[in-house]
Copies of this chain bind each other. A is one copy, B any other.
């Protein structure tokens, strides 16, 4: 199972690293997972909102001869972190106005990937139209914006609507990944990873 975690300049560090850590431990325990930290296009390094500089593992698209973006990878699960929804430019705000990441999420969703978001990463999915009329959650600070975009807000730390899974703010990304481990593999794996991480799951996932 290929899991791609999206990176872009201004991403919230823990939004991406929480799920990365959970899936990493699951892989160490033998789960057949490949986890990559990827950018939309080729980029030598990415800076998080708090200044972590990460060298990504790869990228999702290649620019075609006609300047169109062609999907290079088609993962089973894509996770979009948040960060920077309340800033003028940079972070999620920049990704939404740029449009390439939302458009790519729409394409991957259509191609069969499960699309997940942590925190204000949900606003990228809203821009892609993926949350329209569907149950979803985001960081507290963006709940009104997500509702205004047409999503049905569910007050839960993790909201699982099948091929669309959203989580609340920052640390809720850990719960999202633990929930997906339980869903895609089994409860024992999820419980074992939480134990190794000395983490007590906060709240339960809402599942349609």
A-side residues, CB < 8 A to B, are 12-14, 17-18, 20-21, 24-25, 27-28, 35, 37, 45, 49-55, 57, 139-140, 157, 168-172, 174, 196-200, 202
In the complex formed, the residue of B with least CB distance to A23 is B50
> Cα distance A19–B196 when bound, in Å?
18
Partner pick for A170 among B21, B139, B168, B169, CB 8 A cutoff: B21
Give how many copies assemble into the complex: 2
Nearest CB of chain B from residue A157's CB, rounded to whole Å: 8
In the complex formed, the residue of B with least CB distance to A56 is B53
Q: Are A53 and B52 in contact (CB under 8 A)?
A: no
> Cα distance A184–B128 when bound, in Å?
43
Partner pick for A50 among B35, B140, B196, B199, CB 8 A cutoff: B35
